[in-house]
A = this chain, B = another copy of it.
Amino acid sequence: MVQLLARLPGLGPRSARKAALALIKRREELLVPLASALTEAINKIVVCQECGNVDTTSPCSICSNPKRDRSMIVVVEEVGDLWALERAGVVTALYHVLGGHLSPLDGIGPDRLNIKALVERAGSGDVNEVLLALNATVEGQSTAHYLTEQLSGAGVEVSRLAQGVPIGGELDYLDEGTLAAAIRSRKRL
């Protein structure tokens, strides 16, 4: 158990031992419920065949929600990014989870990501806009570049997130690239 716990992100060998002891000590309130939650996850959690989200149903609760705007697809790298956007409550449209970003050095090419299904969804006729909500990292942006090319024949508008000063950001603490992007994309008032 310690060895498996240590393989969780954020837990080292020492904190894994501590976690294991806490589980054993608090058998009824922690160990038993966690064991049954993990078993439930094995049986119930599935990957949505539409968008790649994880949920207890496929299509997931977002894809099957009739209130969602079906004319737009928000493309994210990971399910964690989808959760971040849902927490913020800023997306009313559907998602598409790539499952990572292109990374030739790690052997992750286009065929390893959920790209083919995205191009098919974008060309289905319902969709007007594909918003590439990828990280502002080198890998995220080169993936966005590749996707833009792949989507060029789908007859949809392709957009990306705005880059600039984060809310609450003070100029003195920002890096050069962000300051340059913020000036380049300045907005008329």
Contacts and interface: CB of A to CB of B under 8 A. Distances in A.
Nearest to A147: B189
Nearest to A141: B167
Interface bin, chain A: 35 or more
Contact of A165 (B162, B168, B179, B183): B162
Contacts of A164: 161-166, 181, 185
A139 to B, nearest CB: 10
Contact of A163 (B90, B167, B175): B167
A148 interface: yes
Interface string A88-125: 11110000000000000000000000000000000000
A176 B87 contact: yes
A171 B137 CA distance: 10
**In the complex, the 8 A-B pairs of residues with the closest C-beta atoms, listed nearest first:** A162-B164, A162-B185, A167-B177, A88-B176, A161-B182, A164-B164, A81-B171, A88-B179
